[in-house]
Amino acid sequence: MAARRYRVTRFAAACGFVICSFVPVDAATWTVRSQPARLVNGAPVLFQVKAPAKLDSLTGTWLGHHLEFSFNTSTKTWFVLAGVSIETAPGKYPLELIGVRPANKIAVTFMRQFAVARAIYPKIKVELTVEKKFTEPTPDELQQIEEGKKIKQDYLNRVTSNRQWSGRFTAPADAPISDVFGSQRIFNGEAQSPHLGLDFRVPAGTPVAAMNSGTVLLARPLYFEGNFVVLDHGQGLLTLYLHLSEFKVKEGDVVKRGDVIGLSGGTGRATGPHLHVAVRWQGVSVDPARLMQLPLP
């Protein structure tokens, strides 16, 4: 795929944009790779880029989302965490990059296509029974549900510019997995949407640890989620911890990987004590298990 170079003709510092003209550049001088190498719907992805020249910054676009890359000084590589929605159809999708050179503000651009395959997620047809209030809520309960929806719509789509995570994401509890991302579940005989998290089989009162460094975005009870903690790891990457019996953090707290943020429980729509963990990237749900497998810088 041919690359392009933009030569700056005007720089609008106050608005943060440049107006440029195109000049061809050799695409072979870029190195762009993904981890994992095979991308599937519902998976996180680490993009790593070696640019053809020293850059002040590197940004990009992937599946309609804005990317801000960080620079790894030891490997001289730019990197960013992104994701693929579980609804994304198989096909080839472009990763578009724009880098700004420090001396003359020349913007270097590149585009590469990445193939996305269809993941195979399990269909677990197990009958589960939950309290009637979760399947036939009263008017008062419906109001609580709507309030929870508004809170999630506001908070779970926020994107902060600074990256807070560093290194691998780790399991929030040392326990077996009882349900996986993407599985089909049945509540009271009715099929629900895919399970968009990872369930850990833990008894009530088990310490729940932060999967990486971040800031506590939410720490409050919601109707379906029960006692609910959300950590903001920066650049739209959030980890969510549901059904807790007790909070150990408050909104605004800064935590490190491994810090205890709460105790497991069975609050909200839960069939019993367990820990449900979810990951969202810029509003897109991705598989927590795949995230923990990524070797991150």
Do 156 and 242 lie in one domain? The reply is yes
Q: What is the pLDDT of residue 113?
A: 97
Do 135 and 271 lie in one domain? The reply is yes
Do 129 and 101 lie in one domain? The reply is no
The answer to whether residues 275 and 199 touch, using CB atoms and an 8 Å cutoff, is: yes
Do 144 and 272 lie in one domain? The reply is yes
Do 246 and 101 lie in one domain? The reply is no
| Boundary-marking domain end, from 117, 134, 153 | 117
Q: How far apart are CA 18 and CA 100, in angstroms?
A: 10
Q: What is the pLDDT of residues 108-165, one digit of tens each?
A: 899 999 999 999 988 776 666 677 777 778 888 888 889 989 999 899 988 998 999 9
Do 152 and 235 lie in one domain? The reply is yes
Q: What is the pLDDT of residue 191?
A: 65
Q: What is the pLDDT of residue 169?
A: 98
CATH number at residue 254: 2.70.70.10
Q: How far apart are CA 260 and CA 207, in angstroms?
A: 6
Do 8 and 92 lie in one domain? The reply is yes
- Residue 157 or 280, more confident: 280
pLDDT at 24 over 80: no
Q: Tokens for 155?
A: 């908070």
| Boundary-marking domain end, from 117, 137, 154 | 117
The CB-based long-range contact list for 187-196 (8 Å cut-off, 24+ gap) reads: 187/128, 187/129, 187/130, 187/134, 187/135, 188/128, 188/129, 188/130, 188/135, 189/127, 190/135, 194/86, 194/121, 196/86, 196/278, 196/285
pLDDT at 7 over 90: no
Q: What is the pLDDT of residues 230-276, one digit of tens each?
A: 999 999 999 999 999 999 999 999 999 999 999 999 999 888 899 99
Q: Whole-prediction pTM value?
A: 0.87
Q: What is the pLDDT of residues 173-217, one digit of tens each?
A: 999 999 999 987 666 666 667 889 999 999 999 999 999 999 999
pLDDT confidence tier of residue 1, bands split at 50, 70 and 90 = very low
Q: What is the pLDDT of residues 68-106, one digit of tens each?
A: 999 999 999 999 999 999 999 999 999 999 999 887 788
Do 183 and 163 lie in one domain? The reply is yes
Question: How many Å from the N-terminal Cα to the C-terminal Cα in the chain?
Answer: 28
Domain tally, the chain: 2
Do 96 and 36 lie in one domain? The reply is yes
In 118-192, where do the E strands start and end?
A: 123-128, 177-179, 184-187, 190-191
Q: What is the pLDDT of residues 38-56, one digit of tens each?
A: 999 999 999 999 998 899 9
Bridge partner residues of 59 (DSSP):
68, 98
Q: What is the pLDDT of residue 186?
A: 66
CB under 8 Å to 158, separation ≥6 — which residues? 217, 232, 236
Q: What is the pLDDT of residue 2?
A: 40
Do 155 and 100 lie in one domain? The reply is no
The answer to whether residues 180 and 86 touch, using CB atoms and an 8 Å cutoff, is: no
Do 165 and 269 lie in one domain? The reply is yes
Q: What is the pLDDT of residue 189?
A: 64
Question: Domain range for residue 146?
Answer: 123-293
CATH number at residue 85: 2.60.40.1590
Count other C-beta atoms under 10 Å from residue 27's C-beta.
Answer: 15
Do 251 and 272 lie in one domain? The reply is yes
